[in-house]
C-alpha cells in the first residue's frame, strides 16, 4: 500500500492511465511494423529487408504530407477549447482530402518512373496505401489525445496489431511473396481506421457536420503550414540516410544498415510517445507567465538525456548480441554499424523533445530552421561519406547531423530563455565531450581501441550531465507528471 501511495504521488491517476494507454497502444502498434521488419529479415533475407526498408522510408516521409501539421494543430486547439471540435475536425479533413489526392498522384508517378526494381516498387505502392489510411486514423487519434481519452487510441492500435499478426502468421504458413506479406500492414491499418471513425461517430453527430469554409481553411492552413513543413523535415531527417545510401550500395548492404537503423527509429518513437503524452500539458505550462515552464523543460531534458545516455551505452556494449537475437546471425555485420550509430541515440531523443518544446512555445520557425540546416548539412555529409565508406559513412553522417542539430536547439533554448541554465550546461558538456572524442580518436588510432572512443563520448555526456544538472529527483518527476498543470 505504501508503494502504491508513492506511485500515486509521483504519477497521478489520470496521467498514469493516459500514459499507459498511449505507450501501450503505440508500443503494440509499432510492434506490427517491427514484427514485419524482423519477419522479412529472418524469412526473406537481407535483400528483401533492403527493399522493404527503402519503401518504408519513402512512404514514411509521404505520410507527413496529408498530416501536414494538422494533427498537432488540432491537439493544441482542442486541448484548450474542446467546444471547437466539430469545426476543427471537419476542416482538418477537408484539407486532408486535397493533400491525399496530391500524395496519391506523386506516388504513382514516382513508383512508375523512379523505382526500377519491381519488388521494391510493389512494396512501395502497398505502403503508400497504408500511410493514407494511417493519416485518417491519426486525425481521429488527435481528437482523442486532445480530449485525453487515450484508451481509445490503445484500442485502435491493439486491433491493428492483432490483425497484422494474424495475417503475418498465415502468410508464413502459406509461403506467400514479400508484397503479400507486407499487405498485412494495410489490412491492420484499415481495421484501426474504421474503429476510430466508429468511435468518432458517437462524439460527432450528423448535426455537427461542417461544410467547406474557405476562410477557416485558409486560417487553419496558415497555422499548420510551418508545422507541416517541419514535420516533413523531421521525417526526412530520420530517413535521409537510407534514401541516400540506397544509391551507393546493394540491397543486401542496405538491409544490414536497416537492421542497425531500426534501433535509432525505435529511440525516436519512444521520444515521440513520451511527448505525445506530455505535449498538451507542456503547451499549457509554456502559455502561462512565470518560471514554471523553464523548470518543466529543465526537468524533462535532464532526466530524459540521462536515461537515453545509459540506454545508448548498454546498446553499444550489447550490439552484437542484440543484432543476432533480433535479426539472426546473417546480419552480424550490422553490429559494426549499430556501434557507430549508438552516440546518435541520445541526440535523437533530445532533438525530438526540443521539437515539441519549441512547437508548444509557438516558435515554429526555430524547428523549421534547425531541421532545414541539419538536413542540408547532413545530406551533403551523407552523400560524401556514403559514396566513400558505404554504410559506415552513412552512420557517421547520422551522428554528425544529430549533433549539429542538438547544438542549434540548445542555442535557441538559451536565446529564448527556455531553461537557460540547462542549455548552457549541456552546451558545455557537449563541447568538452567532443574535445574528449577527438583525443580518443587519436588514441584509438594509436592503440587500436576501435569503437571505445564512442562509448567514452557517451559516458562523458552522462557524467557531465550528472555533474552540471544533478541526479534525478522525485520532485522533478512530480513536476513533469503534475495532474494540475
Distance from C-alpha of 178 to C-alpha of 131, rounded to nearest angstrom: 18
Q: Which residue bears the cell 484500442?
A: 155
Under 8 Å between Cβ of 453 and 440: yes
User: pLDDT per residue over 252-285, tens digit each?
Assistant: 888 889 888 888 888 887 788 777 777 777 777 7
323, 332 Cβ separation under 8 angstroms: yes
Confidence (pLDDT) at 380: 92
- What pLDDT sits at residue 125? 92
- Whole-number pLDDT of residue 17: 53
Task: Bin 169: left if φ > 0, else alpha if -120 < ψ < 50, else beta.
Answer: alpha
Supply the pLDDT for residue 11: 46
pLDDT at 26 exceeding the cut of 70: no
Residue 453 reports pLDDT greater than 70: no
Is 447 a residue whose pLDDT tops 50? no
What is the pLDDT at residue 137? 85
Instruction: Please give the Cα distance from 307 to 271 (Å, whole number).
Output: 12
**The pLDDT value given to residue 472:** 67
| pLDDT confidence of residue 349 | 87
> Which stretches of 213-343 are DSSP H helices?
214-245, 251-287, 292-327, 334-341
pTM score: 0.77
Grade residue 443 by pLDDT with cuts at 50, 70 and 90: low
In this predicted structure, what is the pLDDT of residue 213?
A: 64
User: Does residue 126 have a pLDDT over 90?
Assistant: yes
C-beta separation of 23 from 273 below 8 A: yes
Out of 156-160, 250-254, 292-296, which region has the weakest mean confidence (pLDDT)?
292-296
Q: State residue 446's pLDDT score.
A: 45
Q: What is the pLDDT of residue 181?
A: 92
Q: pLDDT tens for residues 326-384?
A: 888 888 888 888 888 888 888 888 888 888 888 777 777 788 888 888 888 989 999 99
| pLDDT beyond 50 at 321 | yes
What's the rounded mean pLDDT across residues 142-161? 78
Give residue 1's pLDDT band: very low, low, confident or very high (50, 70, 90).
very low
How much is the pLDDT for 474? 66
C-alpha–C-alpha distance, residues 463 and 128, integer Å: 44
Segment 421-450 shows an average pLDDT of 69
Point out the least confidently predicted range of 92-106, 146-160, 388-402: 146-160
Residue 441 has a pLDDT of: 64
**Mean pLDDT for the chain?**
78
| DSSP code at position 83 | G
Q: Give Dmax (Cα) for the chain.
A: 75
Alpha carbon distance 38, 423 (integer Å): 39
Tell me what pLDDT residue 31 has: 65
* pLDDT of 483 strictly over 60: no
pLDDT of residue 7: 40
Residue 6 predicted with pLDDT over 70: no
pLDDT for 63-100, tens place per residue? Answer: 778 877 777 777 767 766 666 677 777 777 788 888 88
For residues 296 and 92, the answer to whether their CB atoms sit within 8 Å is: no
**What is the per-residue pLDDT for 235?**
77
Query: What is the per-residue pLDDT for 38?
Result: 83
Among 187, 220, 1, 199, which Cα is nearest to 91's?
220
Q: Cα separation of 326 and 77, whole Å?
A: 41
Q: How many CB atoms lie within 10 A of CB 98?
A: 11
Amino acid at each position: 500500500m505504501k508503494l502504491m501511495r508513492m506511485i500515486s504521488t509521483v504519477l497521478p491517476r489520470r496521467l498514469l492511465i493516459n500514459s499507459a494507454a498511449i505507450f501501450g497502444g503505440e508500443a503494440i502498434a509499432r510492434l506490427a511494423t517491427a514484427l514485419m521488419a524482423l519477419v522479412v529479415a529472418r524469412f526473406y533475407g537481407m535483400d528483401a529487408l533492403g527493399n522493404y526498408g527503402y519503401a518504408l522510408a519513402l512512404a514514411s516521409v509521404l505520410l507527413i504530407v496529408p498530416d501536414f501539421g494538422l494533427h498537432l494543430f488540432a491537439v493544441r486547439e482542442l486541448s484548450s477549447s474542446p467546444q471547437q471540435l466539430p469545426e476543427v475536425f471537419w476542416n482538418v479533413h477537408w484539407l486532408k482530402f486535397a493533400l491525399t489526392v496530391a500524395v496519391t498522384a506523386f506516388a504513382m508517378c514516382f513508383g512508375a518512373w523512379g523505382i526500377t526494381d519491381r519488388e521494391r516498387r510493389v512494396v512501395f505502392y502497398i505502403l503508400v496505401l497504408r500511410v493514407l489510411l494511417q493519416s485518417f486514423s491519426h486525425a481521429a487519434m488527435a481528437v482523442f489525445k486532445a480530449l485525453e481519452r487515450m484508451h481509445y487510441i490503445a484500442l485502435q492500435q491493439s486491433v491493428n496489431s492483432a490483425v497484422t499478426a494474424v495475417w503475418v502468421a498465415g502468410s508464413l504458413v502459406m509461403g506467400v511473396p514479400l508484397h503479400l506479406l507486407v499487405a498485412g500492414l494495410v489490412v491492420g491499418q484499415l481495421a484501426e481506421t474504421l474503429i476510430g471513425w466508429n468511435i468518432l461517430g458517437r462524439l460527432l453527430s450528423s448535426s455537427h457536420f461542417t461544410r467547406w469554409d474557405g476562410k477557416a481553411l485558409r486560417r487553419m492552413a496558415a497555422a499548420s503550414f510551418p508545422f507541416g513543413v517541419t514535420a516533413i523535415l523531421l521525417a526526412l531527417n530520420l530517413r535521409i540516410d537510407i534514401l541516400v545510401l540506397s544509391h551507393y550500395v546493394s540491397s543486401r548492404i542496405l538491409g544490414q544498415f536497416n537492421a542497425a537503423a531500426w534501433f535509432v527509429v525505435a529511440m525516436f518513437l519512444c521520444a515521440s510517445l513520451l511527448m505525445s503524452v506530455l505535449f498538451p500539458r507542456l503547451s499549457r505550462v509554456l502559455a502561462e507567465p512565470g518560471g514554471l515552464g523553464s523548470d518543466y523543460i529543465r526537468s524533462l531534458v535532464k532526466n530524459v538525456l540521462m536515461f537515453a545516455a545509459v540506454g545508448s551505452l548498454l546498446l553499444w556494449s550489447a550490439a552484437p548480441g542484440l543484432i543476432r537475437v533480433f535479426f539472426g546471425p546473417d546480419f552480424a555485420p550490422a553490429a559494426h554499424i549499430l556501434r557507430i550509430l549508438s552516440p546518435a541515440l541520445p541526440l535523437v531523443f533530445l532533438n525530438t523533445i526540443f521539437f515539441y518544446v519549441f512547437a508548444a512555445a509557438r516558435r515554429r520557425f526555430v524547428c523549421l530552421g534547425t531541421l532545414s540546416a541539419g538536413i542540408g548539412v547532413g545530406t551533403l555529409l551523407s552523400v560524401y561519406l556514403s559514396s566513400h565508406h558505404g554504410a559506415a559513412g552513412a552512420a557517421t553522417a547520422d551522428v554528425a547531423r544529430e549533433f549539429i542539430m542538438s547544438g542549434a536547439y540548445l542555442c535557441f533554448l538559451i536565446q529564448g530563455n527556455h531553461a537557460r541554465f540547462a542549455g548552457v550546461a549541456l552546451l558545455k558538456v557537449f563541447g568538452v565531450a567532443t574535445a574528449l572524442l577527438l583525443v580518443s580518436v587519436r588514441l584509438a588510432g594509436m592503440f587500436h581501441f576501435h569503437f571505445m572512443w564512442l562509448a567514452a563520448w557517451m559516458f562523458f555526456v552522462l557524467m557531465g550531465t550528472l555533474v552540471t544538472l544533478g541526479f534525478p529527483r522525485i520532485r522533478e518527476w512530480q513536476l513533469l507528471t503534475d495532474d494540475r498543470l
